[in-house]
């Protein structure tokens, strides 16, 4: 693979620095008895990722903690509940210098977040006709997935999942361009933004659904799948009416002693019922749900 076809690697520095800080023991210290777990963990991750992907260039984006971003100016409560340890903040200030010492580009500016640099790097690489790899532990980066941009999302023990448009649709039932709408519809403690009333993060809202009604599914919810004609509420009601109607017309077993009294057309079982009778098992004259019956 030559330099012209090698991808651009864009890394969310704060995301992986936070993961490294909380994953490694606090007993890792540096000069002056200051914490060093985040630095060690992020350095190992960055070198490993570079060796496995072999990109033509690396861009690492960072948040600015000392100055408000334009998002906070528009919405003051944005990320208002975030509180970082003093040791973590101290290491976050040194990590951009480590990235620059490795010969990589470090992007950090007042008023911007790492997400802004991820989107800018992916857009510039797409414009030049190349391919971008965006490494981030934040699912908000899924909206950047495209034919020229692949998301590297950590899953377990250093393993990275490659997320493209097909994987976003499979996981969430929406296209990558609709993922921001899905995020706004779910309440998140991370951002502090208000969620839409009545929305649940386990299922995509109606404004995000772009697939036909008969194939709408939410694979992450773990809910039982209904028949095809029950994709809507009305279809579910018809399905339940058919079930109730079939249950009411079931032929009683010989020797049954249980009596059903609910419904106009329900049968009353008794020990004298004969299954060989020509009228046994026939559909009652007055079906409780005639519209839903299957004759």
Helix axes 86-101, 37-53, angle to 10 degrees: 40
Q: Which two tokens stand for residue 240?
A: 């339940």
Q: Say which range, 1-15, 129-143, 218-232, has the weakest mean pLDDT.
A: 218-232
d(CA 293, CA 229): 15
Cβ contact 59:8 at 8 Å:
yes
Summarised one tens digit per residue, pLDDT across range 153-174 is 999 877 899 999 999 999 888 8
For residue range 241-288, list pLDDT tens digits in order.
666 665 555 555 555 545 544 544 444 444 444 444 444 445 445 545
Length of the chain: 295
Q: With DSSP H G I counted as helix, E B as strand and the rest as coil, what are the percentages for the chain, rounded to 5?
A: 40, 15, 50
Enumerate residues 6+ apart whose C-beta is below 8 A from 20: 37, 38, 40, 41, 42, 44, 45
CATH class of the domain whose range is 8-163: alpha beta
Residue 38 to residue 62: CA distance in whole angstroms: 14
- How far apart, in whole angstroms, are the C-alpha atoms of residue 245 and residue 55? 64
- Give the pLDDT confidence score for residue 62 in this predicted structure: 95
Q: At what angle do helices 37-53 and 13-23 cross, to 10 degrees?
A: 120
Please say whether the dihedral angle defined by the alpha carbons of residues 69, 75, 78 and 81, taken in this order, is positive or negative: positive
* CA end-to-end span of the chain: 66
């Amino acid at each position: 693979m030559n330099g012209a076809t090698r991808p651009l690697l864009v890394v969310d520095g704060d995301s992986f620095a936070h993961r490294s800080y909380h994953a490694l023991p606090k007993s890792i210290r540096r000069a002056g008895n200051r914490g060093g777990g985040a630095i060690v963990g992020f350095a190992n991750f960055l070198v490993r990722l570079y060796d496995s992907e072999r990109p033509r260039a690396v861009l690492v984006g960072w948040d600015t903690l000392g100055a408000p971003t334009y998002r906070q100016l528009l919405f003051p409560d944005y990320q208002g509940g975030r509180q970082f340890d003093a040791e973590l903040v101290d290491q976050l200030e040194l990590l951009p210098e480590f990235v620059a010492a490795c010969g990589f580009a470090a992007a950090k500016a007042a008023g911007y977040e790492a997400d802004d640099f991820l989107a800018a790097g992916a857009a510039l690489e797409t414009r030049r006709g190349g391919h971008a790899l965006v490494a981030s532990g934040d699912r908000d980066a899924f909206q950047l997935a495209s034919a020229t941009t692949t998301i590297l999302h950590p899953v377990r023990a250093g393993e990275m999942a490659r997320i493209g448009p097909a994987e976003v649709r499979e996981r969430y039932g929406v296209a990558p361009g609709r993922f921001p709408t899905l995020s706004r519809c779910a309440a998140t403690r991370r951002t502090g933004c208000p969620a839409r009333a009545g929305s649940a993060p386990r299922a995509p809202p109606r404004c995000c659904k772009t697939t036909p009604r008969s194939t709408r599914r939410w694979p992450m919810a773990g809910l039982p799948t209904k028949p095809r004609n029950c994709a809507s509420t009305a279809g579910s009601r018809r399905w339940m009416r058919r079930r109730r109607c079939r249950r009411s017309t079931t032929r009683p077993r010989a020797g049954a002693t249980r009596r059903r009294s609910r419904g106009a057309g329900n049968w009353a079982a008794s020990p004298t019922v004969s299954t060989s009778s020509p009228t046994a098992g026939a559909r009652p004259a007055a079906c409780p749900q005639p519209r839903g019956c299957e004759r």
